[in-house]
Amino acid sequence: MAMVVGVLQMRILVRDAQSLKDKRRVVRSLKDRIRNDFNVSVSEVDALDQRQTAVLGVTLATNDRKFADEVLAKVVDFVRRAPEGELVDYEVEML
């Protein structure tokens, strides 16, 4: 069985961020919760200097494509429900 790498990229709007420090606090909290709850790798990958926009990349390596799809879908649902940010767009890719 081949290795599958699931890649998720999410664009998140942080409306309440009045500064980059506010945004970083929200992003750090989201990243920590995603990493701890779903056992995935997560990083801020774009829009680093934009005060109200964050782009998070999430990756997962497994041998089961269905499992990768399910985990990444749960991450999307989690972020969609997070009160501190608004999920604007996301893209999933399997490698």
Mean pLDDT of the region 38-60: 95
Q: What CATH number corresponds to the domain at position 72?
A: 3.30.70.1120
Q: How many domains does the structure of the chain reveal?
A: 1
* Residue 54 or 48, more confident: 54
Identify which of 58, 42, 59, 48 has the alpha carbon closest to the alpha carbon of residue 14. Answer: 48
Q: What is the pTM of this model?
A: 0.91
Range of the domain at 12: 4-94
Report the pLDDT value the prediction gives residue 48, as an integer from 0 to 100. 82
